[in-house]
Structures are given as structure tokens and as C-alpha cells.
Structure 1
Amino acid sequence: MKSSISISNVNRIYKDSDGNRVEALKDVNLEIKPGEFISIIGPSGCGKTTLLRLIAGLDKPQTGQLFIDGAEITGADPSRGYVFQQGSLFPWLSVRNNIAYGLRARNVYKSKKENIENYIELVGLKGFEKSYPHQISGGMAQRVAIARALINEPKALLLDEPMGALDSFTRADLQDKLLELWKKDGTTMVLVTHDIDEAIYLSDRIVIMTPRPGKISKIIDVNLSRPRQRGSASFLDMRRQILEFFELAQAIPQPEYNI
């Protein structure tokens, strides 16, 4: 299931704990095509997660509008799945019941419960159905969170640094699993990440945001064939270009596999 997302002249301002006015986002405009895989990168505090929350309907802008398939986003909806950085699983529920939670919340468990086993298999957790969050690894917990979001058959999957706390090997494995799911269903995906290599490896386009107030400073098309090789000359050249755009590269960097 695919969906288009349109962000028009969005501004978001809030007050911090000291009562100071904070301009998180300013004049953000973005068009996301149905079935695209988009990554949003930028320095800490630039409004990446704020923008993702606005798309999810978990927050509202002061001015501007957000649309999905032409309908204005006015609140949270199961048609937009959201995966948090730490997975946010219910510790008292098994893997199976965590995945089933969304179906129960929507009162469609009886008609959709046969899909649970399919998603358990899709995310590679066959044999762990009865395990609890404390009994599985961080990478497996993130797979549960992704399956829990996907089982509602969302039009868009929003991912807030879901691989940020994982070790490099687990992260690479989960990146490949995410691509496998994306190719299978064609779900529109929007990923917030600090990892440039991750953005290049996964994305059709990379949205680069400025420091606060967050604006979109550049959108880069990732015209690399799939499957992508992190050590290839074209991959490293794109990485260098993005680093130079951030003014972080003083010279051509040596290969560094930050996956």
C-alpha cells in the first residue's frame, strides 16, 4: 500500500522548560511520492523528529498544512505507522501479543489475526512468538516494533531512528530486513537518522535540514543501483559529497563503515 505525503509551509514553535520561545521548524515544504523511501538527516535539534511527529499527526503546526493522499492530517491514525527509537514494546506482552496489540486496539483482531504469523515470519522472529521483550535482543525488539506498525497495513511507515542504539552488525541486518519489507509492500517510508551511510543505503532521496530553526536546505537524489555496496566508489563519493555539504570533510575521507 502506497501513499503520497505533502508538507506545505509548515512552521512549528514551542516553549522550552524555561518558557523560552523555540522555533523548531520554519517554512518546511516537501512532496513525497507514493512508495518512496525518504531519509531526513541533519544536526541534533534541527526538528527532524518534530517533522516526523507532525506527519504522524502526533503534533500540530502553528501554521501550514500536511496532507496524505490529498486529505489533511489532523490527528494520529493507524494509516500512518510509527516506530520509535527504542521500540516502546509492552514488557508484559509476548512478541506475538505486542504485534497483535494494534489489531486489538482497532477491534479487528478476529478478522486479521491470521496475519500475525505472517508478519512474525516476515521480520524473522519465527520461534520467538512467546518470548517477552526482556528475553530478546535490541535488534529483535525493533523488528517486533516494525511488525506491530506494519500489521495495520499503513499507507506510510514513519521511523524515528529505530536503528540508532544498535550495534553495527545488528543495524546492517535490520536495514536489509527493512528494505525487504519495503520492496514487498511498497509502503511509503520516511526515516529520521543521524547516520549518513544508512540514509544512502536505504533511500530514494535524502532530505538535509539546517540547524534550528529547521529548514530543508537540500534534497539529494540517491541514483545508485540496488542492492547497494557500502564500499563502492559511487557510494563513498556520495558520502563525501554529503559530508562536504555539512562542512565536516576537510579532505576525501577514508572508507568508514558507519552502518
Structure 2
Amino acid sequence: MSNEILMEVKSVDRTYMDANNHTVEALRNINLSIKRGEFLSIIGPSGCGKTTLLRLLAGLDVPEAGVITLEGKEVKGPHPDRGYVFQQSSLFPWLTVEKNIASGLKARGVYKENKDEIAQYIKMIGLTGFEKVYPHQISGGMAQRVAIARSLINHPAALLLDEPMGALDAFTRADLQDKILELWKENKTTMILVTHDVDEALYLSDRVVIMSPRPGKISEILEVSLPRPRQKNSQDFMILRSSILEKLHLASTVPQVEYTI
């Protein structure tokens, strides 16, 4: 990770109308600098505007006040320089694994000159042998790997991850976390993850952005200096976990032992 700033969020506000025609203030005065090559996680209580912020970074939504820039240029809409991975894989069900990945190239009109990269990315995500398989024939974790490869093959400056592991079982989730870390190290792509999982944020991130309840504001940015690979049951990890949970008002100062059966 360098100290060079890749993206900046400057004094951003966002409100919208809910189903009952009431004004909802989703974000208020968000200021954030995202470094090139870092892994940044955004956590906070439900409804605090995490996904709204991610959609603004992607250009899928626009702020009512403030500005978002990528490499000094204002973000005004979606672009392949910002990949986006949804909670559900959102693969095209009528396309095979390799054709889903190729769709990223075709959308940019660069398929012919870059099609040789498809096999490279299939190998990178660990799905060699599944090239001709359709989405309904693979697991949720495998489908998310394909969705990530479909974004990464465009060589984005930043990959935006909207709880891509939220619907997965514990074992598949842990496996995908490790694969995402591997891809991050290999590609040196800036990654920005929205998650509800404090352990996930600490395991993956260089920094964790903690957001307050609506209207969403950044209450703190925590540097995670733990060496990798990180052990989720280590004392230092548990101390950081406890600290974040306290800030989120979700736990006492002493973390409780959790079991997955």
C-alpha cells in the first residue's frame, strides 16, 4: 500500500425519499481519502449508509452535496475503472463461467485483444475445469469468485465489494476471504469492502471505517497494523475486535467466545 491518494470523498451528503414519501438522510458530511493499493473496510449498523457510500464511489448514485474523485477526476457515473461486486453474484444465468468473465471485456469492446486473459483469471480464482459450467451448477462461493474475476479482468483501479460473502456459510466465507486476499496481493488492486462482520473487516483490511447510525457519518477510522496472515483467535485480534464492538455498541469490553457448529 502506498500513501498516494486514489479516491477522495469530500463533504458528501445524500438524502432520498422512502416508500412513504418521507425524506431520509442517508449520509451527512462524509470525508474520506482512499489510498492506492489499500484494503479498506466500511462497517456500521444496518441503515447507516454503507452501501449508499459504496454506490456513490461506483457512480451508481450521485451525491446531493460534495464531490467524489478518482485520480483527481470527478466521478460522474459508472466506469470499468471501478469494479463492483454485489451481495449476490449477479452472473448471467445463460452464460458459462468463461463467458460470464468474458462479458466484462465485451462490455468494454476489448474482447478480441484481451480474450487470452480469460484463462488466466479462471486459474487465478481457482476454477480451472469449470470453464463450461453454468451458474446454477456451481456453489454460491464459486459464483462470487466468477463475479470478482469478471470485474478484475477489466483491471480496475478499485474493486468495490458490497457484502459479497454475506449469504455464504461460515466455511465458504472463510475460503472466499482468503481468495480475495490472495487476489488483492497479486493484482495490487485497491479494494473497498462493505461488511457487517467485524472479524471479516479486521482479517482483511489495512483500515476500517466505522460509521454511525443514520444519518451516516464516519465516527472513526481504525488502522489495522496486525501482521498477515492474521489469526482470528489471537489476543491482539480479539482486543481490536472488542474495541470495534464497543464503538458499535454491540458488545461489552470482554469479547464472548463464539462457536460455529
TM-score category, normalised to shorter length: over 0.9
Distance 1:256 1:242 in 2: 16
Distance 1:178 1:206 in 2: 17
Q: What residue number does 1:216 align with?
A: 218
Root-mean-square deviation over aligned CA pairs: 1.4
Is the contact made by 1:12 and 1:24 (CA closer than 8 Å) also made in structure 2?
Answer: yes
User: Residues 106-126 of structure 1, C-alpha deviation per residue, up to 9 Å, x if partnerless?
Assistant: 111000000000000000000
Q: Tell me the TM-score normalised to structure 2 length.
A: 0.96
| CA-CA distance at 1:102 after TM superposition | 1.1
Match of 1:199 among 198, 201, 214: 201
Q: What residue number does 1:240 align with?
A: 242
Q: Tell me the TM-score normalised to structure 1 length.
A: 0.97
Distance 2:222 2:259 in 1: 21
User: Residues 199-248 of structure 1, C-alpha deviation per residue, up to 9 Å, x if partnerless?
Assistant: 00000000000111000001100010001011111111110111111222
Matches within 5 A, 1:88-237: 88-237=90-239
What secondary structure, in the 3-state scheme, does the structure 2 residue paired with 1:120 have? Answer: helix
Q: Which amino acid aligns with 2:144?
A: Q
Q: Which amino acid aligns with 2:142?
A: M
Is the contact made by 2:43 and 2:196 (CA closer than 8 Å) also made in structure 1?
Answer: yes
Q: What residue number does 1:80 align with?
A: 82
User: Residues 50-93 of structure 1, C-alpha deviation per residue, up to 9 Å, x if partnerless?
Assistant: 00000000100000000011111011100000000001000000
Gaps of 5+ in 2: none
Closer/same/farther in 2, CA of residues 222 and 23 from structure 1, 3 Å limit = same
Is the contact made by 1:90 and 1:98 (CA closer than 8 Å) also made in structure 2?
Answer: yes
Gaps of 5+ in 1: none
Is the contact made by 1:231 and 1:255 (CA closer than 8 Å) also made in structure 2?
Answer: no
Distance 2:259 2:248 in 1: 18
Is the contact made by 1:40 and 1:206 (CA closer than 8 Å) also made in structure 2?
Answer: yes
What secondary structure, in the 3-state scheme, does the structure 2 residue paired with 1:162 have? Answer: coil
Q: Percent identity?
A: 65
What secondary structure, in the 3-state scheme, does the structure 2 residue paired with 1:4 have? Answer: strand
User: Residues 10-43 of structure 1, C-alpha deviation per residue, up to 9 Å, x if partnerless?
Assistant: 0001101111101000000000111010000001
Distance 2:190 2:17 in 1: 32
Q: What residue number does 2:13 align with?
A: 11
What secondary structure, in the 3-state scheme, does the structure 2 residue paired with 1:230 have? Answer: coil
Closer/same/farther in 2, CA of residues 175 and 257 from structure 1, 3 Å limit = farther
User: Residues 105-157 of structure 1, C-alpha deviation per residue, up to 9 Å, x if partnerless?
Assistant: 11110000000000000000001000001000000000000000000000000
What secondary structure, in the 3-state scheme, does the structure 2 residue paired with 1:5 have? Answer: strand
Q: Which amino acid aligns with 2:213?
A: P
| CA-CA distance at 1:257 after TM superposition | 6.3
Matches within 5 A, 1:27-46: 27-46=29-48
Distance 1:7 1:148 in 2: 26
Q: Which amino acid aligns with 1:132?
A: Y
| CA-CA distance at 1:256 after TM superposition | 2.7
| CA-CA distance at 1:255 after TM superposition | 3.1
Match of 1:254 among 241, 253, 256: 256
Closer/same/farther in 2, CA of residues 49 and 84 from structure 1, 3 Å limit = same
Q: Which amino acid aligns with 1:41?
A: I
Is the contact made by 1:82 and 1:159 (CA closer than 8 Å) also made in structure 2?
Answer: yes
Is the contact made by 2:208 and 2:224 (CA closer than 8 Å) also made in structure 1?
Answer: yes
